[in-house]
Chain A
Amino acid sequence: EIVLTQSPGTLSLSPGERVTLSCRASQSVSSNNLAWYQQKPGQAPRLLIYGASNRATGIPDRFSGNGSGTDFTLTISRLEPEDFAVYHCQQYGSSPSTFGQGTKVEIK
């Protein structure tokens, strides 16, 4: 199965800053079938990005996804207070679908 490694584990940032999160796959993700999810404490994950770069319905344009093959990124152009959360990547190009271990974005 494809192993996804997210880095860094935790980021401490201030509102208004720009942040880029990394998700690296152990093998190439076919057809860029990679998604990003946001998860807040006590809540279920929410789909942000699919197909590596497509925003899900209702997701603000400050969120953008990029990458191909084995290297993918999620960028938040300007952190809002509600963006402090854990972010997960998921590949669904190969079975079984697998997730990274998550990156926590916390308030500095």
Chain B
Amino acid sequence: QVQLQESGPGLVKPSQTLSLTCTVSGGSISSGDYYWSWIRQPPGKGLEWIGHIHRSGATYYVPPQSRITISSDTSKNQFSLKLSSVTAADTAVYYCARATLEQQLGQWGQGTLVTVSS
């Protein structure tokens, strides 16, 4: 059973870069055909797809794309999210998840709250 766990700072200052890592256990991010994904949920709001990475290295970012970078480290079985120039609007619970190629999200991490505040 694949398990995912997010890690990273819970507080980020405005204009700085939010950095999160998702550690995957029980399966390899280098095998199978999945999108290793980042989803977020602002307080009191719905879910938002941020982007994903495939084992091939191909990435997809939801527009506008300029602030988002998703990468992977297969040696550590991890993938990461960087979101630059954050504002209070980026305050959310951030989830990492495994999606099928059809983008159904079958496995999720527990989520981590990131607050953007000075």
Query: Are the C-beta atoms of A44 and B49 separated by less than 8 Å?
Result: no
* Number of interface residues, chain A, beta carbon within 8 A: 21
Query: Are the C-beta atoms of B47 and A90 separated by less than 8 Å?
Result: yes
- The minimal Cβ–Cβ distance linking A35 to chain B, given in whole angstroms, is 5
Query: Are the C-beta atoms of A50 and B104 separated by less than 8 Å?
Result: yes
**B46, B48, B49: the one within 8 Å of A102 (CB):** B46
Query: Are the C-beta atoms of B102 and A99 separated by less than 8 Å?
Result: no
Q: Which residues of chain A have C-beta atoms less than 8 A from B104's C-beta?
A: 35, 47, 50, 92
Q: Which residue of A lies closest to B100 (CB)?
A: A50
Q: Which residues of chain A have C-beta atoms less than 8 A from B111's C-beta?
A: 44
Query: Are the C-beta atoms of A99 and B46 separated by less than 8 Å?
Result: yes
Complex alpha-carbon distance, A101 and B46, angstroms: 4
- The minimal Cβ–Cβ distance linking B61 to chain A, given in whole angstroms, is 9
Interface positions of B (Cβ within 8 A of A): 45-49, 60, 62-63, 95, 97, 102-106, 108-111
Interface positions of A (Cβ within 8 A of B): 33, 35, 37, 43-47, 50, 56, 88, 90, 92, 95-102
Q: List 23 A-B contacts (CB under 8 A).
A: A33-B102, A33-B103, A44-B95, A44-B108, A44-B110, A45-B95, A46-B108, A47-B104, A47-B105, A47-B106, A88-B46, A90-B105, A92-B103, A92-B104, A96-B62, A97-B49, A97-B103, A99-B47, A99-B48, A100-B46, A101-B45, A101-B46, A102-B46
